[in-house]
């Protein structure tokens, strides 16, 4: 995959799937604005990309803040001259059964995933429509199919699939592809934190997840990053409005 000359914004790029994606896109030749809630992790990933000969800048960005997201896309254009690729990985969980789920848990998860992605897509389309070129990849989850204790997260992740399909229809005439990637169990800080929260040993949790998965293993951030890179490339230029499950099986 050749992404040389392309410029990417990756939200949640400081850790996990976002960090692997930023590195994968840079490896394929894209300049990357690596954004994360905190400057530190974003800077670390950007520095690692630069150390390998790539182009990257770390940007602090809270995706729940419209001005912060708009400043991020403007920064990518200011630093690298254009914006071609948007990957929205910023995310968190606040799991609880419905009767224990607070308004705050609901709002934070919906605002981070759904509103944050909406802000990022709207800010990016301005540049992409003008250039008549763009690729957006939104990160959904197998939880979109339903998952106990995740009413907020499942709703947001299902909503992102609707957003991807709708934006594919609206932005297709401007040569902009919009797809969603829905990972299953991926070994990151997010899944490690889930294990800690429910009091299960992480290795045991991985073993159980692998046993339930047809490919008999859990995923790594690079498994997801490779598919995202494909959807950011010309190899997938006639694919839009799709949800690609990266889950080791149909449900993960
Ligand atoms: P990580 O926790 O490793 O990375 C998520 C990143 O998003 C963190 O750096 C986090 O920052 C950042 N973030 C959280 N809130 C905001 C915000 N408001 N603005 C900007 N950045 C923010 O998780 P993963 O890599 O596992 O998750 C990446 C995406 O993949 C998420 O959307 C997640 O829902 C999705 N996903 C993950 C799966 C998995 O099994 N791991 C499965 C399916 C989907 P901080 O650390 O400071 O909170």
Of 119, 133, 153, 245, catalytic = 153
d(CA 92, CA 35): 15
- Ligand 1 lined by 119 (C-beta under 6 Å): no
Q: What percent of the chain is predicted at pLDDT more than 90? A: 98
**Where are the chain's structural domains?**
7-184+222-245, 189-218
Residue nearest to atom 33 of ligand 1 (CA): 91
Residue 189 token pair: 């800080």
Q: What is the CA(173)–ligand 1 centre distance, in A?
A: 31
195-224 confidence digits (pLDDT tens): 998 899 999 999 999 999 999 999 999 999
Question: What is the reported pLDDT for 81?
Answer: 98
Question: What is the reported pLDDT for 252?
Answer: 66
- Ligand 1 lined by 64 (C-beta under 6 Å): yes
Alpha-carbon distances, residue 98 vs 7, 146, 194, 196, 216 (angstroms): 41, 13, 17, 20, 31
Question: What is the reported pLDDT for 251?
Answer: 79
Mean pLDDT, rounded, for 130-143: 98
Would you tell me which CATH number, out of the four given (3.40.50.720, 1.10.3720.10, 3.20.20.80, 3.90.1330.10), belongs to the domain 7-184+222-245?
3.40.50.720
Ligand 1 atom with minimal separation from the 142 CA: 43
Q: Does residue 109 register a pLDDT over 70?
A: yes
41-87 confidence digits (pLDDT tens): 999 999 999 999 999 999 999 999 999 999 999 999 999 999 999 99
Question: What is the reported pLDDT for 176?
Answer: 98
Determine whether 245 is an active site residue.
no
Q: What is the CA(250)–ligand 1 centre distance, in A?
A: 22
- Ligand 1 lined by 95 (C-beta under 6 Å): no
């Amino acid at each position: 995959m050749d992404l040389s000359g392309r410029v990417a914004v990756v939200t949640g790029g400081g850790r996990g799937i976002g960090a692997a994606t930023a590195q994968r896109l840079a490896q394929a030749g894209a300049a990357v604005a690596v954004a994360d809630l905190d400057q530190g992790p974003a800077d670390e990933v950007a520095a690692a990309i630069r150390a390998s000969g790539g182009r990257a800048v770390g940007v602090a960005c809270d995706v729940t803040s419209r001005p912060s997201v708009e400043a991020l896309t403007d920064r990518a254009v200011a630093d690298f001259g254009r914006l071609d690729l948007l990957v929205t990985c910023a995310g968190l969980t606040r799991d609880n059964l419905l009767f224990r789920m607070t308004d705050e848990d609901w709002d934070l998860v919906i605002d981070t995933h759904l509103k944050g992605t909406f802000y990022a897509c709207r800010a990016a389309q301005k540049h992409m429509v003008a250039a008549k070129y763009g690729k957006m990849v939104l990160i959904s989850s197998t939880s979109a199919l339903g998952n106990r204790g995740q009413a907020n997260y499942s709703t947001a992740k299902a909503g992102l699939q609707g957003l991807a399909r709708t934006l594919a229809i609206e932005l297709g005439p401007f040569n902009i592809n919009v797809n969603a990637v829905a990972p299953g169990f991926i070994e990151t800080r997010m899944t490690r934190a889930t294990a800690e929260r429910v009091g299960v040993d992480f290795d045991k949790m991985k073993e159980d997840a692998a046993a339930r998965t047809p490919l008999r293993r859990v995923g790594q951030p690079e498994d997801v990053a490779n598919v995202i890179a494909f959807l950011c490339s010309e190899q997938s230029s006639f694919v839009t409005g799709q949800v690609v499950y990266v889950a080791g099986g149909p449900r993960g």
